[in-house]
Amino acid sequence: MDAKRESERAPMKNRTTVERKSERELVTTRTFNGPARIVFEAWTKPELFKRWWAPKSMGMSLRSCEMDVRVGGKYRLEFEGDSMAFFGTYLEVTPPSRLAWTNEEAGDGGPVTTVTFEEKSGRTLLVLSELYPSKEALDAAGTGAADALGEMFEQLDELLVALGASVGRS
């Protein structure tokens, strides 16, 4: 009885998996405890989408979220606190089972994201695929992150020098 109440209060989180499926593709899967039409809606209505896509636990927050969810329609997401934006075009919109869009903020090297929603006895298996134009583009996205890390270390060096200097001065 107690155990049941406990599980109702805090339902078990389903597992998220990420796999590099091929040289060009990264695939993420997750099951949700709800029908596909509800999960699909949470991906296609901006007021719902912005509530989960920029998780506070990751220190993220969206300033604006515009989505024209139809084939050829555009989307644009802007973060709070900096000038960074994500944008692209919807390539496929098939409620409630399939969505695809381009990621254009990184130029030609950006992936095409495809999300499929497959319902089974009231639950939905979501598969998110990011297909890059080439192995090099996916590698670059990874090393891009590594380069960003390198750049961050340089900034950190400068910060430490500045901090050291200010400590020295005071």
- Residue 163 binds to other proteins (criterion: CB under 8 A): yes
Task: Tell me how far apart the alpha carbons of residues 116 and 95 are, in angstroms, rounded to a whole number.
Answer: 10
Task: Tell me how far apart the alpha carbons of residues 99 and 94 are, in angstroms, rounded to a whole number.
Answer: 6
Please tell me whether residue 130 adopts helix, strand or coil conformation. Answer: strand
Task: Tell me how far apart the alpha carbons of residues 65 and 21 are, in angstroms, rounded to a whole number.
Answer: 30
- x/- binding map, residues 53-92, to other proteins, per CB under 8 A? x-x-xxxx------------------x----x-x------
How many CB atoms sit inside 10 A of residue 46's CB?
Answer: 17
| Angle ∠(91,95,98) on CA atoms, nearest 5 | 50
- Residue 165 binds to other proteins (criterion: CB under 8 A): no
Stretch that binds other proteins, among 63-71, 91-99, 153-161 (CB under 8 A): 153-161
H or E stretch covering 114: strand 112-120
- x/- binding map, residues 102-121, to other proteins, per CB under 8 A? -x-xx---------------
- Please say which residue, 79 or 102, places its beta carbon nearer to other proteins: 79
Residues at the site binding other proteins, with contacts judged by CB under 8 A: 11, 13-14, 16-18, 20, 26, 28, 30, 32-34, 38-39, 41-42, 48, 51-53, 55, 57-60, 79, 84, 86, 103, 105-106, 128, 141-146, 148-149, 152-153, 156-157, 159-160, 163-164
